[in-house]
Structure 1
Amino acid sequence: MTRAYLKAIRREIWRSKARFFSIMLIIFLGVAFYTGIRATGPDMLQAADDYFAKQRLATNSVQSTLGLTTADIKALQKHRDELIIQPEKYLDVNQLNNNRVVRVAELPTTQKLNQLRVISGRLPKKANEIVLDSQAKVLQPSLTLGSTYRIVSSKAVNKKFTRRQFKVVGFVNSPRYVENTTRGVTTVGKGTLDYVAYVRPQTLKLKVFTRIDVQFKNLIGVKPYTAKYNRLNHTNTTKLKRWLRPQAKKRQQSLQQAAQQQLTPLSQAVTSLAAQVPANTPQLVKLQAQLTNAQAKVAAIKQPTYLYSNRADNPGYTEYHENTQRVVALSTVFPLFFIAIAALICLTTMTRMVEELRLQMGTLKALGYSNAAVGSEFMIYGGLAALIGTGLGVLFGVNFFPQFIAQAYGSMYNLPAIGVQYIWSDILIALVIALLCTLGTALIVLRVDLRSLPAQLLQPKSPKAGKTLWLERWTGLWHRLSFNHKITLRNLFRYKQRLLMTVLGIAGCMAMMITGFGLKDSIGDIGTKQFNDLWHYDAIITRTGSETAAQRRAIANEKLTRSSLALKSAQATVKQAGVGEQTVTLGVPVETQRLNQFVTLRQRQSHQRYNLGNHGAIIDEKLAKLTHVKVGDTLALKLAGQPTKCVKVAAIAENYVNHFVYLSPTYYRETFGKRPIYNSNYVQFTQTSERQENAYANKLLRQRGIMNVTLMATERKTTFKMFDSMNLVVLIFVISAGALALVVLYNLTNINVSERIRELSTIKVLGFYDGEVTMYIFRENLILTGLGIILGCFLGNWLHSHILQTAETNALMFSPGIHPLSYVYSALLTVAFSLIVMAMMHRKLKRVNMLDALKSVD
């Protein structure tokens, strides 16, 4: 390859810089989207892996129904070569002064496991200092560094503290709770924890440990969520159970011996009295009966049950992984649209380039250049555009998209910022695809011309033969069309490749914009449908037991309360292989016929209403999808402290936020073998003033037996705040699709104009005005844009449905519908881009040198 030939290539790149830049830009967009979205899932997983390793998150935990003792700790310490252990004491407290359920945990002197990450302030050093979970600041904005924190609960709970007033010295995050809002279930208060507070040792008056955290050394360095981790973890759990199995019997014997020792004075008193009085003396008989009953109770002391859990039982741990997998799923589907469109446009562009340089190719072949040398110009041209576009796309995509998407998920999780990593396998795939889009299409186009003789190449290519259109046979319509309209239709159907490429390119961009707007609709509709159409109560009140007359009077506030419904409310868990453990709210209304006044239970599509019957449960649609159950199947439910029970699914109802299971009192009694205790109330207000609602809640909390008041207005604000952050992801789709649409329209229109420059110059010579010349092209573009918009609506609807299935979280179901306005907005944006491109082309057409264009063949 001579220096002169290389110079000719450089000149060609500079002469057609608009075309070169458009190819590079299309490759840039496709590669940026592909590598960026593909890197997001691994980046998020790596951030979690680094965080768990740095904070030394426990791999397993052990609890017991009777607490854990030093004997249990010693049993595990025998295996210190295989594991690290950390015992912990904590107490769940229903705070009566701030309407929160808080877990107060003692920090070990040395944090071997589950090390806290300090967000602000520091860890406690003195007995009167406390650090709070960062979620506490969200729920109680008045809590700041230096403020006073008081524990105010029932008398029985208050007695379990050596002190109940602390100074807040820090806010922290624990690796046990990667999700921002969820802290797990409890048997206290409303059944779910709001946040965790950490205090110094010796603050709790507990004789036994609540939990022992364990880290197996063979899992250090093993990436979580992998098959290897799961396999080792299963083996480790089996070992843990085997090591602690003898402890249950020993603990039973220890408790029985301690209880028996407490009976020694009573036993001695019976023996002494029996030696002094006759056997049938009432006093002796009574004392002997007491001893017999006490000994029966000692004998009835059962072995404790040891409960084993792993990281998958931590709130948010499994769901975080599932969310990263959803991002990976998106990275497989969505970028394919970019790549497919890029390939189509590159094919069209390289085809035009080969046709433009046909004369040059003939000249070079006549001068003796080989086919490889002649074709190398196109290879260098396309390859250079692909390499530059890929390089810039990788740099932008890998550094921007993961950060942006992770920031959107940041409102849901409290993990540190992610780091950037270059996944070379994906980068190599992107480069190969980019080269195929340019070099591959160039080879496809060149295969015919390189076989041609120089004499054939030096002559202009014969124009495509005209054909009679099927529309021409519709003479009634054809004769009524103007000359310009007939030319427009002839050109459209004459160049079928250009028609196909333009329609598919616009349809793909339109589909992505519809998907973006549709996701916004699906996310935005959740709050409206959930809080307006399905939930009709304004507050949930949780009590310690059945409703008393005093509580009933307090709840029935004449100024604010319109109606209330008593029900049993409890947190239950549903665990199934392949799906993370789901927390569901079990509801048993005292009056089943009144439930629909407070909650709408209906089929999502037909809106058929369901009534709660005595032969099964009504569950939410998302829970049914996750557990793969349908009407007539059974669902395994586990209430805290009770064995797992199976309920029959009678109906599946529309729901978008969290999970629920509703049972009738009769069916509850049949399933769980006891009558329900109606410990909650749904309450409807006559008006919704924030000040009045807060005053009502505060007044109720001062009432004995009222444990918690949840205001739905507050819940709604929290939910919408989370949805707002998810709209950032939607913004990526719309902006990326819009940018691609603009580039596609510009490139295709530019090619169209370049191909027909002699035709356009001819009609200008014939006296057409500049506006008429532009309309000559614009009419075709407008029709093709319209066809692309119509096809894009169907593609967008399919893509939106597919992405919804992959992007949903376990506790969330998106509304599947797309608003009509979203189709309108997408169409208007596409038309707007078309108008912008035509405005640019109008300026170009005004500057066309008609003489040079018409003599170009000569």
Structure 2
Amino acid sequence: MKPMTKNMWREIAANKGRFIAIIMIILLGTLIFVGVKATGPSLNDSMATTVKAKHLSDVQLFSTTGFTRKDVQTAEQVSGAQAEISKFKDVTGGKDEDVVALYGYQSGAKQNQLKLRSGHLPQSANQIVLDERAKRDFGYHLGDTYRFNRQANLKQRSYQIVGFADSPRYIDYTTRGAANVGDGTVAYFAYIKPQQLKLSTATVLTVRFKSLQGLNAFSDDYQTAVNKKVNELKTAFKPRAKQRDRQLSADVKRSFAPQQQKLTRASQQLAQLKQATGDSAALRQQQATLRENQAKLDTALKQANTRTQTTYTCQTREDLPGFTSFGDTSDRIATIANIFPVFFFLIAALITFTTITRMVEEARRQIGTFKALGYTKWVIARNYLTYALMAGLIGALLGSVIGNATLPRLVISMYHMSIPLTTSIPVMWTVIALAVAFSLLATVGAAIIVVRRELAEKPADLMLPRAPKSAKRILMERITPLWRRMSFTQKVSYRNLFRYKSRMWMTIIGIAGGTALILTGFGLNDSIGSTASQQYGQIFHYSATVSLAHNDQSKKAMTILNQSSAYKGATKVNMTTGKVKANAKQISDVNLVTPNNQQQFKKYVTLSHSLNTKGLVISKKIASQLDIKTGDKVSFTTTTGQKAALKVTAVTPNYMGVFAYMSPTAYHQAFNVEPVVNTLLLKLNGQSDQQQKQLARQLLKRGGALGTSFASDQEATIKTMSSSMNVIVLLMILLSGVLSFVVLYNLTNINISERIRELSTVKVLGFFDNEVTMYVSRENILLTVFGIVLGYGAGWGLLSFILNQATTAQVVFPVIIRWPGFVVATLLMVAFTLIVMWVTHQKLKHVDMVEALKEN
């Protein structure tokens, strides 16, 4: 080897700790940066792979009059469309009268194909395949007999369970959607032979577009493209609805024609009889009966024609159970990835920059010697640049590979408990390149800056030690009573703190950054997990919401509720959905709540301000998204087309859903109609899931309800969302702790190497080992305390920023860090400081004082 190369390898061997520390800091920074950045796209890619393999449809159409082959042809008029029709309806069955989404199984189906988990698909009329969730959560097994209720109206009621499967229509085991039978909540899906469903026509038409399959289903490009296709489908089906109505109307007339002919003949016979025999009481009675029968026939014909009025409803993947919430979670992780890892990586890069800078400064005499021996500046610089390049590349490449391969896989493995994903992890080449570039900037960049500065000096100056910084009086010295009571070592420690300002700030930044990152990790878990409890503890004080089937028909529901032992109270409200516009921006799906009794309403919902006779109270989500405040005007348009210009009278906190509130008087003034009661807010005693289902079933069956939504279900959804983030949060906390330890250890080593002659002098003067250790560690303790306190504020600020960016259309997260987070962050920093003190103590005990003192 050449002398310069030998010198570099000797330098690495002599200072293995520093070389490894640089690699570790860069490795940790790139690992979390690349790993968390890859997690969001990996979740989306895994979902895309899962649904693409089973050909999930892009659009589902439902019709009030069913579908025929003609509807398939109509759908396929749209460019690139592949359409299929199938039979489907919501029914009840099973051991607990569960709501079942029942489909007719078609073996040749090209869309929404089942993924068999066990058993086989239906092969005969008496066989049924159930949702895997029915096996997991409801205790069904292969070979069991499954029995439907009579109201299901099937050819037979009992079927043998021959298989369990997953469907791309239902991606999340925690939710299967809503229904208008049973308790209103779908428990699981099932497939039987289509002939078993007594349906005259298909009830659902699914459409898949070739041009959309290459797009990420959660991207804006996909949403724009699918919305365009939906509009094209609506245009194509507009004339089809009229054709279908005419066809069905003709069919109805043909079915009623024989009865009409009978009545017409009977009328003609009575007329002839009247002419022949004259008027009589018996004849008049027969004519009255005939008119009555004609009226009944006309009414029946009218009702039949009403049922033949065709209306189409379109649904996209966004409307599928669990699909949007999955996209929201992956977006949330992507948002965290844009902030947390960057902050983490910046701290790592800053400390690395300091370490490399100090390493080159320590080599002044070597640089001076090589320069005096005639080596060129480039040859000398190459030695240190190669050292920095090696450390930076090893750390960055290892961190990138480990991060890209492990973190997304860990998160996806957690999702497997609730979502059957096919793992697909893309290699984040752009992110890896960015991480490597930042790493080299921190290592090679630092080396370039410092080597260039050192090489500018003369060899003779470089071979002399750098002149020590002149001591200055510090603020504490001016406080004479305090300063006089300090020991010599205490005075030296405080002076050194302010003498080496760069090291002081690096230590503070390292400790504060580590504390902030750990607190942010705990805070993410606390904030996301507490969203539901904050909503249903501080703002909403009710247990359930009952949507009434008919306006102002709450008597039936109240009768059912009064019979329930769980019932505590209820308040009536009008709940209208609409969109709010202001400043050329719009927010949709806003729930406008108008209480029937304002005083009673206060016991159920806490608002920041009372409802006025004019204007609107909006939630903070609306205010922030539309950039409006109290006193501004907004436009509110209901789903029925009613529109009003309203003044914002107050902005109130809200975490789940998007809500606005008006008094009955304000509602009447705005829309010129009285608000009609269509929703009940209920207060209930604690109930089991089974009891909730039973109450919801009774309200749906006999209480005139469209459906019942329980607060506990919302809390369960948030809990699931929180648990899906647990792996990311735990890794953030662990890696933040490791980074903090490495940073503290590295900076302490720099401190010792900078002051080795000073420390040797102190030892020669007769200080004991413990005193020498405290001579250095006292500074670390003070800086750690200061860094921890600073980290509290930085952690709160970082968490607030992340959660503000992570809010979705329906969820705003409260900023919460519970006391265990502060305790753990503090104890970890104290523990790291104590460990570093012990390592420092062992190192200082074996310092060769003579060699250190004669070094220069």
Question: TM (normalized to structure 2)?
Answer: 0.86
Aligned to 2:111, the other structure's residue is in SS state: coil
Q: Deviations over 1:141-194 (max 9, x none)?
A: 333333333322xx6x33x32122223333332222333333344444555534
2:433 corresponds to: 428
1:757 corresponds to: 756
Aligned partners of 1:34 and 1:696: how far apart in 2? Answer: 45
1:552 corresponds to: 559
Alignment equivalent of 2:313, drawn from 288, 307, 316: 307
Aligned ranges 1:594-613 → 2 under 5 Å: 594-597=600-603, 599-603=604-608, 610=610
- The aligned amino acid for 2:781 is L
Q: Determine whether 1:732 maps to 2:731.
A: yes
Query: Deviation at 1:32?
Result: 0.7
Query: Deviation at 1:53?
Result: 1.6
Query: Deviation at 1:824?
Result: 4.0
Q: Determine whether 1:177 maps to 2:176.
A: no
CA contact (8 A) 1:555 1:561 kept: no
- The aligned amino acid for 1:389 is G
Alignment equivalent of 1:209, drawn from 202, 211, 221: 202
Query: Deviation at 1:620?
Result: 5.8
Counterparts in 2 of 1:770 and 1:579: CA distance versus 1, 3 Å: farther
2:145 corresponds to: 148
Alignment equivalent of 1:124, drawn from 119, 122, 125: 122
Query: Deviation at 1:253?
Result: 1.1
Counterparts in 2 of 1:493 and 1:20: CA distance versus 1, 3 Å: same
Counterparts in 2 of 1:819 and 1:748: CA distance versus 1, 3 Å: same
The answer to which of 705-714 and 128-137 deviates more is 705-714
1:495 corresponds to: 500
Aligned partners of 2:239 and 2:111: how far apart in 1? Answer: 26
2:13 corresponds to: 14
CA contact (8 A) 1:39 1:421 kept: yes
Q: Determine whether 1:457 maps to 2:454.
A: no
Aligned ranges 1:112-261 → 2 under 5 Å: 112-137=110-135, 140-152=137-149, 157-158=151-152, 160-188=153-181, 191-226=184-219, 229-230=222-223, 232-261=225-254
Q: Deviations over 1:497-526 (max 9, x none)?
A: 111211112221111112112223223433
Aligned partners of 1:653 and 1:95: how far apart in 2? Answer: 44
Q: Determine whether 1:705 maps to 2:711.
A: no
1:483 corresponds to: 488
The answer to which of 18-27 and 498-507 deviates more is 498-507
Counterparts in 2 of 1:683 and 1:342: CA distance versus 1, 3 Å: closer
- The aligned amino acid for 1:336 is V
Aligned ranges 1:800-819 → 2 under 5 Å: 800-808=799-807, 810-819=809-818
2:411 corresponds to: 405
Q: Deviations over 1:404-454 (max 9, x none)?
A: 23345555x624142333222221111111111111001111122111111
Alignment equivalent of 1:317, drawn from 323, 326, 329: 323
Aligned ranges 1:535-574 → 2 under 5 Å: 536-537=541-542, 552=559, 555-557=562-564, 560-561=565-566, 563-565=568-570, 567=572
1:84 corresponds to: 82
Query: Deviation at 1:616?
Result: 7.4
2:106 corresponds to: 108
Counterparts in 2 of 1:150 and 1:5: CA distance versus 1, 3 Å: same
- The aligned amino acid for 1:563 is K
- The aligned amino acid for 1:333 is I
Counterparts in 2 of 1:95 and 1:749: CA distance versus 1, 3 Å: same
Aligned partners of 2:4 and 2:641: how far apart in 1? Answer: 82
Q: Determine whether 1:353 maps to 2:359.
A: yes
Aligned partners of 1:198 and 1:616: how far apart in 2? Answer: 51
1:54 corresponds to: 53
CA contact (8 A) 1:30 1:339 kept: yes
Aligned partners of 2:519 and 2:682: how far apart in 1? Answer: 39
Q: Determine whether 1:684 maps to 2:684.
A: yes
- The aligned amino acid for 2:559 is R
Counterparts in 2 of 1:82 and 1:572: CA distance versus 1, 3 Å: same
Q: Deviations over 1:254-288 (max 9, x none)?
A: 12212222342344345432352559964465566
CA contact (8 A) 1:584 1:659 kept: yes
Aligned to 1:221, the other structure's residue is in SS state: coil
Aligned to 2:162, the other structure's residue is in SS state: strand
Aligned partners of 2:174 and 2:158: how far apart in 1? Answer: 25
1:832 corresponds to: 831
Query: Deviation at 1:647?
Result: 10
Aligned partners of 1:142 and 1:367: how far apart in 2? Answer: 83
Q: Determine whether 1:518 maps to 2:530.
A: no
Query: Deviation at 1:21?
Result: 0.5
Counterparts in 2 of 1:427 and 1:296: CA distance versus 1, 3 Å: closer
Q: Deviations over 1:773-825 (max 9, x none)?
A: 01111111112222222322222111101111234455443321333553343
The answer to which of 102-111 and 581-590 deviates more is 581-590
CA contact (8 A) 2:412 2:421 kept: no
CA contact (8 A) 1:189 1:543 kept: no
Query: Deviation at 1:533?
Result: 4.5
- The aligned amino acid for 1:514 is L
2:272 corresponds to: 276
Aligned to 2:45, the other structure's residue is in SS state: helix
Aligned partners of 1:576 and 1:129: how far apart in 2? Answer: 53
Aligned partners of 2:304 and 2:134: how far apart in 1? Answer: 43
Counterparts in 2 of 1:251 and 1:168: CA distance versus 1, 3 Å: same
Structure 2: which 5+ residue stretches go unaligned? none
Aligned partners of 1:814 and 1:506: how far apart in 2? Answer: 27
Query: Between Structure 1 and Structure 2, how many residues are aligned?
Result: 833
Aligned partners of 2:580 and 2:182: how far apart in 1? Answer: 23
2:510 corresponds to: 505
Q: Deviations over 1:566-624 (max 9, x none)?
A: 65798968799999998788877765543444x34234xxxx6x56x887787765577
Aligned to 2:817, the other structure's residue is in SS state: coil
Aligned partners of 1:721 and 1:59: how far apart in 2? Answer: 26
Aligned partners of 2:33 and 2:560: how far apart in 1? Answer: 62
- The aligned amino acid for 1:51 is T
Aligned to 1:210, the other structure's residue is in SS state: strand
Q: Determine whether 1:439 maps to 2:435.
A: no
Counterparts in 2 of 1:410 and 1:300: CA distance versus 1, 3 Å: closer
Query: Deviation at 1:64?
Result: 2.0
Q: Determine whether 1:343 maps to 2:339.
A: no
1:380 corresponds to: 386
Aligned partners of 1:451 and 1:498: how far apart in 2? Answer: 24
Aligned partners of 2:616 and 2:154: how far apart in 1? Answer: 42
CA contact (8 A) 1:319 1:580 kept: no
Query: Deviation at 1:195?
Result: 3.0
Q: Deviations over 1:234-259 (max 9, x none)?
A: 44334433433321121121122122
Aligned partners of 2:323 and 2:636: how far apart in 1? Answer: 23
Q: Determine whether 1:472 maps to 2:477.
A: yes
1:365 corresponds to: 371
Aligned partners of 1:619 and 1:259: how far apart in 2? Answer: 50
Q: Deviations over 1:190-230 (max 9, x none)?
A: 55534322222112111122111011233343443456544
Query: Deviation at 1:561?
Result: 3.8
Query: Deviation at 1:353?
Result: 1.5
Aligned partners of 2:813 and 2:306: how far apart in 1? Answer: 52
Aligned partners of 1:580 and 1:125: how far apart in 2? Answer: 51
Q: Deviations over 1:340-371 (max 9, x none)?
A: 22222222212222232211111111111111
Q: Deviations over 1:358-403 (max 9, x none)?
A: 1111111111111111111211111111111112112211112112
